[in-house]
């Protein structure tokens, strides 16, 4: 019988181990963390522009216009939204965690316009983007390189020194994400580069056919900013699954399985003991 008591004791100890959480958690905001199972992750990069009838917005501690004020944004400013939450039918968005030390706040999604970004272009053209295995010498030997948001973008371009792109070893790292060929036959590559010592991040598209030309026509202009029109709250299936995958839900189910295991072990032990006594 003693060995069964050991098993029961071991199972009880296991119940105190941390259980991994599978639901998306927005760190930095108490309400968002407590209600992560009721939020819906924004698709894409979640880049929005403030467009309030009052000319500005103030993010809130909770998805409630009467809660504490956090940060003010004026019309035209960019704001990054991580996830949405429906509060009595009203859609709110929570800011993405930033590195400025500010607490991410909640904002009404009706006061924002979603901006077209590089991720949107890549999703729309995923069938045309292919792995690049060619030579990058034309870029490495250039004095300056023009980095575009996406091929033919009408957004502001970034001109960088080519030597900053190809940092390696202890200085940084770089990689090519894919290639694209436009209707004029120009080939483009998507590059990601980060320098450790300068902390400079360079990400975008380079025209291999003419890497120094900043006057290539904007043949892929971005659509006009638009209102957010995707579902704000989770579906019934998502709510059901979140009860099982959120930290609290996972812990509750773990304890149920533990109790079943304990009773099963005790019952088996008592049955075997009764047989030995007969």
Give the pLDDT confidence of 85-129 residue by residue, as tens digits: 998 889 999 998 766 677 889 999 999 999 888 888 988 999 999
The residues, any chain, with a CB within 8 Å of residue 156's CB and separated by 6 or more, are: 149
Q: What is the mean pLDDT of the chain?
A: 77
Is the pLDDT confidence value at 14 over 60? no
Percent with pLDDT over 90 in the chain: 31
152-to-125, 210, 214, 262 alpha-carbon distances in Å: 13, 12, 10, 65
Q: What's the pLDDT band for 249 if we cut at 50, 70, 90? A: very low
Percent with pLDDT over 70 in the chain: 69
pLDDT of residue 241: 33
Residue whose pair of structure tokens reads 């579902």 in the numeric block: 231
pLDDT digits (tens, 9 = 90+) for 40-64: 888 766 889 999 999 999 999 999 9
81-85, 137-141, 162-166 — which one is most confidently predicted on average? 81-85
The alpha-carbon radius of gyration of the chain (Å, integer) is 27
d(CA 246, CA 238): 11
Q: What's the pLDDT band for 239 if we cut at 50, 70, 90? A: very low
- 3-class secondary structure, 191: strand
Looking at the structure, give the CATH architecture of the domain made up of residues 13-116+234-253. Roll (2.30)
Which pTM was predicted?
0.61
Is the pLDDT confidence value at 16 over 70? no
Lowest mean pLDDT among 115-124, 154-163, 247-256, 260-269: 247-256
pLDDT of residue 242: 37
Is the pLDDT confidence value at 130 over 90? yes
Q: Tell me the two tokens of residue 65.
A: 């216009």
Lowest mean pLDDT among 136-145, 183-192, 200-209, 243-252: 243-252
List the chain domain ranges.
13-116+234-253, 120-207
Characterize the bridge pairing of strands 158-161 and 144-147. antiparallel
4-to-9, 13, 263, 273, 278 alpha-carbon distances in Å: 9, 14, 11, 11, 20
């Amino acid at each position: 019988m003693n060995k069964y008591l050991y098993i029961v004791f071991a199972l009880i100890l296991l119940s105190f181990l941390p259980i991994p959480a599978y639901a998306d958690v927005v760190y930095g905001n108490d309400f968002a963390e407590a209600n992560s199972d009721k939020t819906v992750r924004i698709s894409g990069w979640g880049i929005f522009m403030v467009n309030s009838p009052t000319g500005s917005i103030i993010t809130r501690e909770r998805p409630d216009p009467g809660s504490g004020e956090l940060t003010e944004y004026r019309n035209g400013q960019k704001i990054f939204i991580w996830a949405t939450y429906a509060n009595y039918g009203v859609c709110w968005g929570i800011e993405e965690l930033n590195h400025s030390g500010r607490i991410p706040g909640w904002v009404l999604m009706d006061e924002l316009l979603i901006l077209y970004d590089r991720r949107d272009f890549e999703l729309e053209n995923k069938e045309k983007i292919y792995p690049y295995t060619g030579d990058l010498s034309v870029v490495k030997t250039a004095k300056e390189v023009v980095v575009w948001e996406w091929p033919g973008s009408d957004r502001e371009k970034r001109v960088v020194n080519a030597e900053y792109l190809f940092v390696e070893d202890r200085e940084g790292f770089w990689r090519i994400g894919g290639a694209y060929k436009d209707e004029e036959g120009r080939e483009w590559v998507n590059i990601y580069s980060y320098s450790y010592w300068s902390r400079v991040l360079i990400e975008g598209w380079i025209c291999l056919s003419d890497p120094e030309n900043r006057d290539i026509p904007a043949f892929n202009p971005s659509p006009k900013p638009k209102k957010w029109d995707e579902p704000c709250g989770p579906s019934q299936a998502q709510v059901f699954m979140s009860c099982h995958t959120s930290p609290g839900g996972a812990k509750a189910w773990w304890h149920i399985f533990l109790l079943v295991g304990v009773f099963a072990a005790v019952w088996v032990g008592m049955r075997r003991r009764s047989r030995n006594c007969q």
